[in-house]
A and B are shown apart, each in its own frame.
Chain A
Amino acid sequence: MFTQEIVTVTENKPVAEGYFKLSFNAPELAKNYDPIQFVNVKVGSGTEFLLRKPFSIYDHTDTDISILFKIYGKGTERLSQYKTGDSLDILGPLGTGVVPPKDNVPTALIVGGVGIGSVKALALKMPKQFDLFYGVRNQGEVVEKQEWSELANTVFMCSDDGSCGEKGVVSTLFQKQASAYKKIYVCGPHAMLKAVYDVCPETIESFFITEEYMACGFGICMGCVIKTTSGYKRICKEGPVFKGSEIIW
């Protein structure tokens, strides 16, 4: 069940260069979402932006939900200007979430950049049996470093410029140790997802968190599809998580 709600912003703070964590009051939602689900947010007023913009649910408290976003264009720029007490119109929770694995198979979360925003809710609900592979452009982009090092067994970092962790891309970093894992969850730009898929041994069960432009966010426009072995599927409805073997890359 999803609803449209007008919520109140409780905090909106920068958490890295160009990154914001925005929290809002939504006690029902905080109790009733699955990891990897998202909310579709109306940014600005009137037709300043006609369509809603999707953001993963990052984290929650008893009363609040937060999203983590990076400024990309005008919409996220506008969202970064929201202040405590402002109201925000949201639709959610949307998408098919992930039931956190109860088994203790060796698991890796592999993220690039703002992809970190989609996996925290999952990390919080998983047994502490996972490693994090985290790729960023540079040091300034790293979000909640301390918290992640407590959540994960080990955090493997890399950056494009070598300013934090190894210099290089996260798919290469992961490839070196891939044989240690049985299951991976991957989130980031499409090119990064594909690079991880390409180096991922077939023995690993892989799940990819995908993105596409969205209009409705709940399955009625057919706008947000991804090509799979059983035809086009809606990222907002059947997704956003798909098995690596299911996606036509």
Chain B
Amino acid sequence: MVNLDKKRVSPVKIGSVTYPNPIWLASGTVAFGAELSEILDLNMLGGIVLKGTTLEPREGNPPPRLVETPSGLLNAIGLQNPGVEGLIKDKLPFLKQFKVPVILNIAGKHEDEYVSIVQRVAEEAEVQGYELNLSCPNVENGLDLGTDPQWVESVVKKVKKVAGNVPVLAKITPNVTRITDLSKAAENGGADAISLINTLVGMAFNTHTQQPILANKIGGLSGPAIRPVAIRMVYQVRQTTSLPIVGMGGIMNQHDVDEFYIAGADCVQLGTLNFVDIHQLRSLINTAQS
């Protein structure tokens, strides 16, 4: 039996960093923290994972970028972000006023980009984690590369070489048949933790126009609809590794958080919930304070 009372308030050690509690916020659902800080005390979080950052600025996909599906949110934002220089200059300084551990989420087009982004950030700023988005299904080629265990191992290895003391979290893609092939590859590459799951690839049509609703046609599904898939994957990965697991996917309340702990997660990230219910978000954060 998992001791839930203990788990809910336990600090989480990943590599050289101890995160104060197991409730974090997920990449792409907090932007870079500023807007959320108007309504939420960021200092109470175990960690905040910033919007996926690329080497060059990206303008993202044309709208419509999102649509609601049964118990889910289908999105194709297309990684709109200011690029690593914009991150360093305009986004990270704001977060200095908070004590919350800041985790960057990095999205490269190829291995070298992951390395370049980490090197650039390491020169300029202090962060408490690099989460490698090895799974963004919305961006050209992202899917194909991230499903290849050899590539995953190689990217993680290269990033570890330049990351110094900062933990490297491998956010592997869930859009594969055997998730453990990827988690093992990330572990072999030297990852300090495994993050899962990212969104599942999906699609929705407008039946009147018979056109896809998203301008990008295909998007990533998040929210309660994907939770059983996420729970299954956390469970399977837990059977094959002792690395810390950062679980996410459809968490809406304390029951859902607990389910992730039971499946084998050491901490969780809240994503789609941030868009819908700040009261519930606060309540989960309050429970995590020891």
A interface residues, Cβ below 8 angstroms from B: 1-4, 42, 47, 49-52, 89, 91, 212-227, 231-232, 237
Contacts and interface: CB of A to CB of B under 8 A. Distances in A.
Interface string B31-65: 10001101100000000000100000001101111
Interface in B159-191: none
A4 B277 contact: yes
Contacts of A227: 62
B274 A216 contact: yes
B66 A223 contact: yes
The A contact surface, by secondary structure, is loop
Contacts of B236: none
Interface in B57-97: 59-60, 62-68, 71-73, 75, 77, 80
3 cross-chain pairs, A with B, having the tightest CB-CB distances, nearest first:
A216-B275, A219-B35, A223-B66
B272 A213 contact: no
A225 B66 CA distance: 10
A221 B51 CA distance: 9
Contact of B64 (A49, A51, A212, A220): A212
B60 A222 contact: yes
Contacts of A212: 63-64
Given A50-B72, A222-B31, 15 more contacts: A51-B68, A51-B275, A219-B31, A220-B31, A220-B35, A221-B66, A221-B75, A222-B60, A222-B77, A222-B80, A223-B65, A223-B66, A223-B77, A225-B63, A225-B80
Contacts of A49: 68
B206 to A, nearest CB: 12
Interface residues of B, number: 34
Contacts of A224: 63, 65-66
Contacts of A222: 28, 31, 51, 60, 65, 77, 80
A53 to B, nearest CB: 9
Interface in B235-265: 252
Contact of B35 (A3, A42, A215, A218): A218
A51 B75 CA distance: 13
Contacts of A221: 28-29, 31, 66, 75, 77, 275
A214 to B, nearest CB: 8
B280 to A, nearest CB: 10
